[in-house]
Amino acid sequence: MAPLRHFFIMSTVNVRVNGRGNAWPVILGQDHPFYNRHNFEDLANASFSIIKSSSKDPKEKDIEWDLMIDAGHGAVQYLLKNCNRIPEAVFLTHPNIDHTLGLDWIVQSYYKVYQTPYPVYATILCWKIVKTTFPHLVGLIEFKEIIPYEKIEIQEIEGVELIPFPAYHGKSAVGATMLFFIVHEDNIKRKILFTGDILCPLLREEDYTIISEVDLLVTDANNRFPYPKSNHWSITGGLYDNMSQYLSAFFDQCTLGLLLEPHLLYNATDNYARCFDYFLNREISIADFYFTLESFIKRISPHKVALIHYSGGEDLKYYNENILTTQELELWANNSIGSSLSSQFIVPYVSQHMDFLTTTKTTN
């Protein structure tokens, strides 16, 4: 009997990598094993597009629509070189300028072509910072507020839904949000979660059910081992299965108030602040939150995990562990933690189109 073959439905919807870097991928005057300083595309900050196209390697004419997640430095240059079209909308995970710098270029381009404001999705707190950073864009942007935990339908593209989940990425990242997209296509439902820059998700118990077994998790992998002062979570909790002293010390000092501060201060609206009543009306322990990618993955069991925003600087400085190349990081992730998990780890390159090997049937 011939062996059974497993056939997967390859969707025309995938996630393109517009940039994969952290705020400063290569320090001026230095080199970095992970990034090629001679390739500008490899120096773009973490940015992605959910696209629908008629090709696995689409050009401008092949793309039906493009929803862009974050627009930091280098992302627009990537678009100009590789497809040269304006995305249908931009979604911001948080207002730090290394994730918003390209917004000016995109918005101005759209307005010059269509003479109408450009749709930008963000939390109200994120939007307040964007307005301060780019005051000249206020009249050129159609701000579309996303409210934590509330599902919305994306108006520009039929069949795409979004649920924003708040996150903690330090005091300056007000309104920081993970973006959970649900894309309906021919009775297939694709689930994609972008963490953005993150130290800790602020999820309620019922939220874990919603994001469980997500098809693709695109996540902050700034360092392999913990250094919470960087305001980024780590891939693992420490060396050789021992909890890091830096993470342990952080737990001793961390409070619920610290994690909620960037969401409840800075003149948050009552509508926004009420989203966090869940935490304020319960006895919540810091141990109820996830500060490492490994522990988060064990909880939600994603099918594929894309590691982006890698630096490794804290690994070298505080753990005397080498900064890895792209291939080394992917091998390390799959061997060190992937062997005990069902998730597949990838470290994507710029321009890579991340597809889906799993199919989730739509029941409604």
pLDDT tens for each residue of 10-46: 448 999 999 999 999 999 999 999 999 999 889 999 9
Q: Rg of the Cα trace of the chain?
A: 20
Those residues whose C-beta lies under 8 Å from the C-beta of residue 291, and which sit 6 or more positions away, are 199, 200, 226, 228, 233, 234, 237, 247, 250
Please compute the mean of the pLDDT values over residues 116-139 and round it to a whole number.
97
The ranges assigned to domains in the chain are 13-350
| Greatest Cα-to-Cα distance within the chain, rounded to the nearest angstrom | 69
pLDDT of 118 over the 90 cut: yes
Query: What does the block give as tokens for 2?
Result: 């011939």
Q: Residue 132 is which amino acid?
A: T
Q: How far is CA 96 from the centre of its chain?
A: 13
Q: Domain 13-350 class?
A: alpha beta
Question: Is 37 in a helix, a strand, or coil?
Answer: coil
Which pLDDT value is given to residue 186? 80
pLDDT of 294 over the 50 cut: yes
Which pLDDT value is given to residue 123? 97
Among 44-48, 61-65, 110-114, 180-184, which stretch is predicted with the lowest mean pLDDT?
61-65
Number of CB atoms found within 10 A of residue 182's CB: 21
SS (H, E, C) 45-85: ECEEEEEEECCCCCCHHHEEEEEEECCCCCHHHHHHHHCCC
d(CA 273, CA 281): 13
- Most confident by average pLDDT, 2-11, 184-193, 350-359: 184-193
Among 168-182, 262-276, 310-324, which stretch is predicted with the lowest mean pLDDT?
262-276
d(CA 21, CA 308): 7
Query: What does the block give as tokens for 272?
Result: 């926004």
301: which DSSP letter? -
